[in-house]
Amino acid sequence: MALLPVPEALSRILNAVAPLSTEEISIHDALGRVLAEDAKATLTQPPFDASAMDGYAVRFEDIADPLTVVGESQAGCSYDGVVGPGETVRIFTGAPMAKGADTVIIQENVTRDGDQVIVNEAKNKGANIRAAGGDFKYDEVLVEASTKLNSKHIALLAAGNVAALTVYKQPRVAVLSTGDELKDVGSEIGPDQIVNSNVPMFMALVKEHGGIPTNIGTARDTEEDVRAKIREVKDFDIFVSIGGVSVGDYDIIQDVLREEGLEVDFWKVAMQPGKPIVFGDFNGIHYFGMPGNPSSAYVCFANFMLPAMNKMQGMGEAGFPLSHARLEHSLKPGGTRVNYLRAFVSENGLGEQTVSAKLTQSSANLSPLAKSNCLLIREIDAPAAEAGDLVKIVLIDR
């Protein structure tokens, strides 16, 4: 069976998934959610001309002569009179401008004696005033659709008095691992057993990228146990199984899944690590069958599952961002599969990036993955590379 090229595999996945439906949530629950429609201001900000500094509101044409303080304007308590010739109003940051005044002189630039003020220095007419609508106006788009909301967006939306937001629903993801040798974290580990690191990793990956993960558990390498576990997979958007997708005598999950309704789109991709990945439809749920080696499973998530999750959340079809960096060392020619090397990219004071892929590349080892902040891409039949050559990288840690 010919291995499927990585771009074709990704294209098939993205053609199969679509944005999820939407829901309305409170702004207080919006961190990390993705807007399904533009969020618009429900008011103008500032709603009035306001002072940008503590000082005195004046008529600029009067500043050459002493001025008489006739009142005060505070935030939340404005001066209700009109500033006339030879008059000034004490004003504070954020307070509404006094009617009749056109400039604010900062308090450091005046001399005050009782109710008399002498202006010692003034920049220009209109100084130190925040114009009404200077930040945004009523019905102006504050944050565009398909934006993943962060704390800065939320601050802006709150200032616009936007209390509720329409967002895409989060993908619900079922995570299942298989293998007699696997034990949960914290268990007593026997001589033939290993800790199941894949499930905690995938639960974290799904949550980190906006999904809602559910741990279905670990199935033993028997048809009965696998069947019992996968029958729990209902009302999910994505189903991920980890392990059991290769060709060993005990890699049975794909056969059982087919019997329970799995329709396989493709199996095996021309990539290293991650070749045995499976993608298909399990009773209306998008299915990813991931390799059991942790680094292989991570690379498959980065290349295929993350773009799918992003599209389902209305963020387009991209996964981790791509970039370029200069090699710190030589690399041998590429092989018959696209190779994703665990690597570390660094940046100097001029913004120039260099990358090293000298970490151990065994797909069963987690230490190199944990120390990596990028994947260095070596295309099929890529020529040998030397230190200083420009290479493509995937930024898995921004």
In a domain, 300, yes or no: yes
CATH code for position 362: 2.40.340.10
Residue 341's contacts (CB-CB under 8 Å, 6 or more residues apart) are 357, 359, 361, 375, 376, 377, 378
In a domain, 244, yes or no: yes
Q: Would you tell me how many other CB atoms lie within 10 Å of the CB of residue 373?
A: 15
- Please give the helix or strand (H or E) that residue 219 lies within, else none: strand 212-219
Q: What is the mean pLDDT of the chain?
A: 93
Looking at residue 178, its pLDDT comes to: 85
Assign 309 to helix, strand or coil: helix
Answer yes or no: is pLDDT of 246 > 70.
no
In a domain, 338, yes or no: yes
Looking at residue 298, its pLDDT comes to: 96
CB contact at 8 A, 355 and 389: no
CB contact at 8 A, 297 and 277: no
- Could you tell me which of 264, 172, 183 has the C-alpha nearest to residue 220? 183
CATH code for position 69: 2.170.190.11
Answer yes or no: is pLDDT of 248 > 60.
no
- Could you tell me which of 27, 245, 57 has the C-alpha nearest to residue 150? 27
205 and 263 share one domain: yes
Looking at residue 247, its pLDDT comes to: 56
Range of the domain at 67: 50-130
Percent composition of the chain: helix, strand, coil (DSSP 3-state, to 5) = 20, 35, 45
Tell me the C-alpha to C-alpha distance, in Å, between residue 184 and each of 165, 207, 394. 39, 19, 31
CATH code for position 180: 3.40.980.10
156 and 175 share one domain: no
In a domain, 363, yes or no: yes
Domain edge (last residue) among 102, 130, 158: 130
Tell me the C-alpha to C-alpha distance, in Å, between residue 305 and each of 13, 103, 176. 8, 57, 15
Assign 84 to helix, strand or coil: coil
Sign of CA dihedral 348, 351, 356, 357: positive
In a domain, 232, yes or no: yes
- The model's pLDDT over 336-346, given as tens digits with 9 standing for 90+, comes to 999 999 999 99
CATH code for position 32: 3.90.105.10
In a domain, 1, yes or no: no
66 and 103 share one domain: yes
Looking at residue 266, its pLDDT comes to: 95
- The model's pLDDT over 186-224, given as tens digits with 9 standing for 90+, comes to 778 778 777 788 899 999 999 999 999 999 988 888 889
Of 45 and 251, more confident = 45
Looking at residue 243, its pLDDT comes to: 87
93 and 116 share one domain: yes
Q: Which amino acid is at 164?
A: A
Residue % of the chain over a pLDDT of 70: 97
Q: Would you tell me how many other CB atoms lie within 10 Å of the CB of residue 367?
A: 11
- The model's pLDDT over 63-106, given as tens digits with 9 standing for 90+, comes to 999 999 999 999 889 999 999 999 999 999 999 999 999 999 99
237 and 365 share one domain: no
Domains of the chain: total = 4
In a domain, 317, yes or no: no
Looking at residue 169, its pLDDT comes to: 98
What span, in angstroms and rounded, lies between the C-alpha atoms of 265 and 15? 11
Tell me the C-alpha to C-alpha distance, in Å, between residue 198 and each of 135, 201, 240, 285, 332. 47, 5, 11, 21, 30
H-assigned helices in the chain = 6-16, 151-159, 198-208, 223-230, 253-259, 294-300, 306-312, 367-371
Q: Tell how far CA 178 is from the center of its chain.
A: 30
387 and 306 share one domain: no
Looking at residue 197, its pLDDT comes to: 83
- Could you tell me which of 299, 350, 352 has the C-alpha nearest to residue 325? 352
What span, in angstroms and rounded, lies between the C-alpha atoms of 43 and 321? 36
Of 253 and 325, more confident = 325
Q: Would you tell me how many other CB atoms lie within 10 Å of the CB of residue 389?
A: 13
- The model's pLDDT over 346-356, given as tens digits with 9 standing for 90+, comes to 999 999 999 99
275 and 206 share one domain: yes
Q: Would you tell me how many other CB atoms lie within 10 Å of the CB of residue 265?
A: 17
CB contact at 8 A, 323 and 395: yes
191 and 146 share one domain: no
368 and 291 share one domain: no
Looking at residue 249, its pLDDT comes to: 41
- The model's pLDDT over 269-285, given as tens digits with 9 standing for 90+, comes to 999 999 999 999 999 99
- The model's pLDDT over 99-143, given as tens digits with 9 standing for 90+, comes to 999 999 999 999 999 999 999 999 899 999 999 999 999 999 999
Sign of CA dihedral 118, 120, 122, 127: negative
The values of phi and psi at residue 386, to 5°, are: -115, 160
Answer yes or no: is pLDDT of 182 > 90.
no
Residues making up the chain, counted from first to last? 398
Q: Would you tell me how many other CB atoms lie within 10 Å of the CB of residue 155?
A: 10
201 and 303 share one domain: yes
Mean pLDDT for the stretch of residues 313-317: 96
119 and 158 share one domain: no
Domain edge (last residue) among 260, 292, 312: 312
Looking at residue 276, its pLDDT comes to: 93
In a domain, 386, yes or no: yes
CB contact at 8 A, 25 and 165: yes
148 and 31 share one domain: yes
Domain edge (last residue) among 312, 333, 368: 312
Looking at residue 250, its pLDDT comes to: 40
